[in-house]
Structure 1
């Protein structure tokens, strides 16, 4: 017996899960990403990185427009995003380039879309 009253069962309460929820480890990883994105500057930076043509990595100079912040402040925000697993960075010459991590974007997309084929997030 499921323990549901006939009334609750008829009203559809306590319906079975349509998919497995994320694991505790996945929740830790996603919560770090969401915490990093909870800042308006970092959310805008993420949007700019994701909007970059052809999903190419973009340089810091591409990201400074539209912000009334110093480059060092923006670098700090990008470091927080990197540490949270949202972006990868690499240096070419004097410029540091940033690109969204596919695995991170897939994990966030899966969480919010209800996609049944959830990717594994370490």
Structure 2
């Protein structure tokens, strides 16, 4: 399991029972806070959405940059933070960098936030 995956999981043992299964310890909370901080910025949230929704599963940074009124270095910084949070990965091909979302990381994050529906008491 990569370090990126550990950040998203927030748990070194790979278990992701969800927030409702047990309280987070300090390390888990710190790891997850980095992920939520990455997602808490509107530009990074849009970038993740653009990458994750891309048909074919990957997108060139050259296609992401024009969607924003920001410089290319600023976009690259935001993408770096998404990579560090373990939400996307990338590969350089010639002069361009291609990004793709990490579905397993997004699924683990969704599972962490999922709260099972309580069973209604019977009358």
**TM-score (normalised: structure 2):** 0.68
Aligned to 1:32: 34
Task: From the CA coordinates, give the structure whose radius of gyration is larger.
Answer: 1
**Pairing partner for 2:46 from 44, 47, 56:** 44
Aligned to 1:100: 101
Aligned to 1:84: 85
Aligned residues: 97
**Aligned-residue RMSD, C-alpha:** 2.1
Offset of 1:115 from its aligned partner? 6.0
Which digits, 9 at most, give the CA deviation of each residue in 1:48-102, with x for residues without a partner?
0111013x22110121132001111100110111111111111111111111122
Offset of 1:107 from its aligned partner? 1.9
In structure 1, list runs of 5 or more residues that go unmatched: 1-18, 117-122
Aligned to 2:61: 60
**TM-score (normalised: structure 1):** 0.68
In structure 2, list runs of 5 or more residues that go unmatched: 1-19, 118-123
Looking at structure 2, the residues matched to 79 and 99 of structure 1 have their Cα atoms a distance apart, in angstroms, of 13
For the structure 1 residues 31 and 115, does the alpha-carbon distance in structure 2 shift closer, same or farther, using more than 3 Å as the test? Answer: farther
Higher relative contact order (CA 8 A, sep 6+): 2
Looking at structure 2, the residues matched to 85 and 59 of structure 1 have their Cα atoms a distance apart, in angstroms, of 18
Aligned to 2:75: 74
